[in-house]
Amino acid sequence: MYYKADWSEARERIEAWWRGDVVDRVAISVYAPRAEPIPGHPYPSPVSPEQAWTDVSYRLEAVEAYCCHTYFGGEEYPRLNPSMGPGTLALFLGARPTWMMDTVWFDTVLDDLSEATALSYDLDNQWWRLCQRLVSEGMRRGRDRYLVVLPDLIENLDTLASLHGIEELLIALVEHQEAVRRAQQRIVSLYSEYYDCLFELANGPVLGSGFHLHAPWAPGRMAKVQCDIGVMISPRQFEELAFPYYVQQCERLDYVIWHLDGRANLRHLDCILELPNIHAIQWVPGAGDLPEASREWFPLYRRIRSAGKSLELSVEIGEVEPMVRELGPEGLLLRTAAETEQEAKQLLREARSWTKS
């Protein structure tokens, strides 16, 4: 790969991580400014938030500029992320966007949750057409240079929250449970249709797949799966009204990493760990809580690893070594950033000698 000469070695380590194993060192994704940026690719400046998300030429120029100025160390890799906000599937299903520079807000479109059963795979949705064009153009311009990953589709209850409203969905989870079940069944089916098309466009059968910004590459059909609204529902509601549909979704994938976000979501962990085809957990404590490197979370990490799941964490560069020595390198992927390319390379060299203390 043009922007990452050691991609074959990185792939081997990531594949071992998915298996809960290790090759020559712990899996580390570290990025830093290039010591010598590739010339001729200045960062473009968008004229508006909408252009930043929807202008294909701008997005391709932006990712190429980023690649030319960034050192992709260890298991970090150059990629085009074609997301149009967190929960791009909702956009394909009719949600109306409000573009911001750092995120996208969606206006609800389902006044009644029963309307979800009428949602369809809409070939003429302008955002779906735009996403396909972005993926296709990225594959054309980025081949042998960077990967085109899959957008942050999001699924099931979180997608219904975008389409129907959070408060409205919480009420439905109590008062209209059968409507919630039927709506999720429709969302699972539509998710698969959109996923399958994007996977083929991004040449997944040959190249494997990545997903959004912070999920690792995998040698097959992979997705990051989540239920962020889980912080607002009970374990019984999760088990009865969410779990069956995540089972269906995960059965259609080869590799799944569960994005576990927020302390309150830990109440569902036992259920999540029972999901077939969940290979890894990505833990995010949430705003205002203790960082991932806090020792308070170490019992959680051991619980996840003892369940046979790999673990992905984002930590400061100085926290990488203590984490590895405490937890061991097997099935552990640590994401971090370095101030310089030299610092990143030194981290990777030293990591080969670390062992569990």
pLDDT digits (tens, 9 = 90+) for 265-312: 999 999 999 998 999 999 999 889 999 999 999 999 999 999 999 999
Question: 0.75 exceeded by the pTM?
Answer: yes
State whether the Cα torsion 318-324-326-327 is positive or negative: positive
Using pLDDT thresholds of 50, 70 and 90, give the confidence band for residue 357: very low
Question: Burial code of 131-140, b = ≥16 C-beta within 10 A, e = fewer?
Answer: bbebbebbbe
Residue 218 CA neighbour count, 13 Å, CB half: 23
Using pLDDT thresholds of 50, 70 and 90, give the confidence band for residue 40: confident
Neighbours of 206 (CB within 10 A): 6
Task: Write the class of the CATH domain 7-351.
Answer: alpha beta
The pair phi, psi for residue 226, each rounded to 5°, is -150, 165
What value does the mean pLDDT take over residues 35-49? 93
106-152 residue pLDDT tens: 999 999 999 999 999 999 999 999 999 999 999 999 999 999 999 99
List Cβ neighbours of 128 (8 Å cut-off, separation of 6 or more).
92, 122, 194
Domain boundaries, given as residue ranges, for the chain: 7-351
Geometric angle at alpha carbon 211, from 308 and 284, rounded to 5°: 60
What value does the mean pLDDT take over residues 81-100? 96
Question: Burial code of 236-269, b = ≥16 C-beta within 10 A, e = fewer?
Answer: ebbeebbbebbeebbeebbbbbbbbbbeebbebb
Residue type, 97: P
Rounded CA-CA distance 182/233 in Å is: 18
